[in-house]
Amino acid sequence: MNSRKEIIDFFQKEGILIQPDAIEFLVANGNGINSCRTLLNEMGERPFIISSEDIKHVFEKIGEKKERAATGSRMNRVGGRKTIKKEGFRILQDVTGNSTCQGELGDFVMLFRDRFEKLGALIRKRQEMRNALPLRRVMHRDDEITTIGMVKDVIPAKNGVVVELEDSEASITAYIPKDVDPLLVVDEVIGISGKKRGDMVTVKSVVRPELPRERRKNVADEEKYVIFLSDLHVGSKSFLEKEWLRFIEWMQGKRGTEKQRDLVKKVSHIIICGDVVEGIGIYPGQENDLLVDDIYLQYEELARKLSAIPEEIAIIMQPGNHDAVRPSLPQPSFGNEITSMFEGRDVTFIGNPCYLEIDGVTILAYHGQSLQDFATSLPDMSQNRPAKIMKEMLKRRHMAPIYGGIASLAPERKDYLIIDRVPDIFVTGHVHVTAVDSYRDVILINASAWQAQTEYQRMMDFMPDPAKAVLVNLKDLSPSLIQFS
């Protein structure tokens, strides 16, 4: 049989559309049907469409795994301490250096169009949504309809809500009973099925982009740990200095149980998810809470504190709403005037949010500004239970859908808040709570803070659970927790 036809038939049986350039790439570089099977096994999440770029990315990952296996264990000894080399790190997606934001009306249009098209495509992968019609084609029908739209408005109604759905061409009104779906937020993209009569659709089911129920998890070839921290707030009077010193002593192998000291020998990276310093002028009366009232001196003090971490451990650092970058999401990484303070250390500066990869494990790092928007918009949600909100983000495949909330959005032409690839680990911070959970094989972490509760936090109902380090073993994605208070 013709090799091109074999490839097309294979993916048709799997319910996947393969683009012509991808077929040609497999013919030129692959090994027939065996390559097709390997490709699907390595992708984990089954896509609706496969492009040549998707195939190249998977083949690169396979090549990296073979290279790691060929070179064997990368355990070395430096000054009597076990260390692990860090060749397997790369940034997958980050707004830093890619911003197109001009603040014009057209930029907002492109942002929401990008969101609608990408999330709509994910919804269409669902079997019940493959025949969804655009809104303009269901407006004048009086029968069963299936369509996809962005939620423009949510109005409470008896035993449910009335929503206005829109796309680029039309809008419709729908009544969604509480027992069908009680958790709607504005600006999310959903699919609906129901009965349309007159100007109103009575919805029978709501479909979101969601995560696949089953997928192949990515793991490292060797036992290797990543530590997740957040919200250091260096420069605040409430910074937990004693607890931080205990953490540093543990990192240096001077504190902890034998098991804990053994764990730290296998740490390759520390990821710090924003609010690394206290900042200036962030909230009313903050000047009374400052130990260091110069933003640059705050970062200098942070650099000094991080210099005590063993130099063979790489540090990855992103900004949050207290840091000296633009406040709107997505946030680019720190500027040169700040990054230059960390010269001589293995520090990588990333944007917020950022997709990154360590030894084949995909990590989505996000400071978490929109956790409060979800908490105030959905029933039975609380910023002090962040893992529950993170699950709602994954269901919507979006970290900050609500425009006009606490988390301000920059009008980038690409929506960097879309969860377009499924991570193995999803980590946030911001609310100063320690949480570890999972959802459909994704490890959820809200990383602990290193600041005691301030008066402003008490007023905002922040209930800190500080001075803890969350570790994840990349070989099996098992999390563990060490407390320093």
- Helix residue spans in 252-350 (DSSP H): 258-264, 295-306, 336-339
Positions of CATH 2.40.50.140 in the chain:
127-207
Positions of CATH 3.60.21.50 in the chain:
84-100+214-483
Instruction: Kindly write down the DSSP assignment for every residue of 348-386, as one continuous string.
Output: EE--BSEEEEETTEEEEE---TTHHHHHHHSTT--TTSH
d(CA 252, CA 380): 42
Structure-token match 């979101």, residue found: 208
Tokens representing residue 482 in the block:
């060490």
DSSP annotation of 288 reads G
| Residue 229 burial by Cβ neighbours in a 10 Å radius (0-12, 13-18, 19+) | buried
Sign, CA dihedral 59-61-62-68, equals positive
Bridge partner list, 225 = 267, 473
Q: What is the pLDDT of residues 56-98, one digit of tens each?
A: 777 777 766 655 544 443 333 333 344 444 568 999 999 999 9
What are the phi and psi torsion angles at 375 (to 5°)?
-65, -35
What separation, in Å, do the N-terminal and C-terminal C-alpha atoms of the chain show?
67
Positions of CATH 1.10.8.60 in the chain:
3-71
Contacts 24+ apart (CB under 8 A), 241-245: 243/450, 243/466, 243/467, 243/484, 243/485, 244/305, 244/450, 244/467, 244/484
- Check residue 81 and give its pLDDT: 41
Sign, CA dihedral 308-309-314-319, equals negative
| Residue 459 burial by Cβ neighbours in a 10 Å radius (0-12, 13-18, 19+) | exposed
**DSSP three-state, residue 172:** strand
- Check residue 79 and give its pLDDT: 34
CATH assignment, 3-71: 1.10.8.60
Sign, CA dihedral 258-262-263-265, equals positive
| Largest CA-CA distance found in the chain, in angstroms, rounded | 77
- Check residue 71 and give its pLDDT: 45
What are the phi and psi torsion angles at 35 (to 5°)?
-65, -35
d(CA 338, CA 122): 39
- Check residue 76 and give its pLDDT: 36
pLDDT in tens, the chain (485 residues): 577 778 888 877 776 778 777 888 888 776 667 778 777 777 766 666 787 777 877 777 776 665 554 444 333 333 334 444 456 899 999 999 999 888 788 899 999 999 999 999 999 999 899 999 999 999 888 899 999 999 999 999 999 999 999 999 999 999 999 999 999 999 999 999 999 999 899 999 999 999 998 888 999 999 999 999 999 999 999 999 999 999 999 999 999 999 899 999 999 999 999 999 999 999 999 999 999 999 999 999 999 999 999 999 999 999 999 999 999 999 999 999 999 999 988 999 999 999 999 999 999 999 999 999 999 999 999 999 999 999 999 999 999 999 999 999 999 999 999 999 999 999 999 999 999 999 999 999 999 999 999 988 888 888 889 999 999 999 999 999 999 99
Pick the CATH number of 84-100+214-483 from 3.20.20.70, 3.40.50.20, 3.40.50.2300, 3.60.21.50: 3.60.21.50
- Check residue 1 and give its pLDDT: 56
Please say whether the beta carbons of 40 and 55 come within 8 A.
Answer: no
HSE-CB of 75 using CA atoms within 13 angstroms: 12
- Check residue 37 and give its pLDDT: 78
Amino acid, res. 20: P
Contacts of 50 (CB under 8 A, 6+ apart): 11, 16, 17, 18, 19, 22, 39
- Check residue 67 and give its pLDDT: 57
Contacts of 34 (CB under 8 A, 6+ apart): none
CATH architecture of 127-207: Beta Barrel (2.40)
